[in-house]
Copies of this chain bind each other. A is one copy, B any other.
Amino acid sequence: MMAEDAMETACRSGARAAAQRTRILQAAQKCFVEHGFHAASMATIAQTAEMSPGLIYRYFRSKSEIILAIIERQLEIVRERIGSLHVANDLAAGIADSFHAPTDCHDDMIIAPLFLETSAEATRDPQVGAAVAAVDTAVRTEFTRVLMRAREEGGYGLPEELATKRALMLLCLFEGLKVREAREPHLDHGLLESALGDILGLLLAPQSAEPAG
């Protein structure tokens, strides 16, 4: 016979428990998008997940633990996207494709309202702030590295100083794109892709003239 704690573990972390957890997280994400982290109530989340409020507490210690789980999942998606960015051959299209209409909703997306809410929460909650800062630094570093890497190695061969500046602007551009997604969800996709192609052509050119005064 199994030891009690082993059985406990097998059960708690079993397939059912995992399914319940993701069910709760999906419901919570939907509610957070619709109402925000603080305006969404546990009762609403429970209703959305089609279970009783009390049951949620079997799988999560508190509401803020759920919020943190949602945020960390979003940050993980950011990490994944960045990791696969420098592999893509058409950068503009790849970036434009991360701009989503609000209708479609896979679970590997950076949801614009969650991005905004998370960024705001990061300025208040130290735990969220730390998680966001870690990913943020990693992304900025990765951007700079890709811009500096030699062209024959898949980079853009920019000198360090220029790479640092352009990585910063690129980062602002991407984050601004998420803001835009929240504000203009039905923005013309063709225009966006074309505009991105234009600006990336400028920013990632082999070498460009120095800016005027």
Q: Which A residues contact B (CB, under 8 angstroms)?
A: 34-36, 38-39, 112-113, 116-117, 119-124, 132-133, 136, 162, 164-166, 168-169, 171-180, 182-184, 191-192, 194-203, 205, 208, 210-212
Partner of A36, one of B120, B171, B208: B120
State how many copies of this chain the complex holds: 2
A175 to B212 CA separation, bound complex (whole angstroms): 24
Q: Is the CB of A36 within 8 A of B38?
A: yes
- What distance in Å separates the Cβ of A100 from its nearest Cβ neighbour in chain B? 13
Known: A173-B173, A198-B169, A201-B211. A124 touches B191 (CB 8 A): no
- What distance in Å separates the Cβ of A29 from its nearest Cβ neighbour in chain B? 14
Q: Is the CB of B183 within 8 A of A168?
A: no
A198 to B204 CA separation, bound complex (whole angstroms): 12
By a CB distance below 8 angstroms, the chain B residues around A171 are 176, 180
By a CB distance below 8 angstroms, the chain B residues around A119 are 116, 179, 182-183
Interface of chain A, main secondary structure: helix
A113 to B124 CA separation, bound complex (whole angstroms): 9
Q: Is the CB of B198 within 8 A of A162?
A: yes
A138 to B69 CA separation, bound complex (whole angstroms): 38
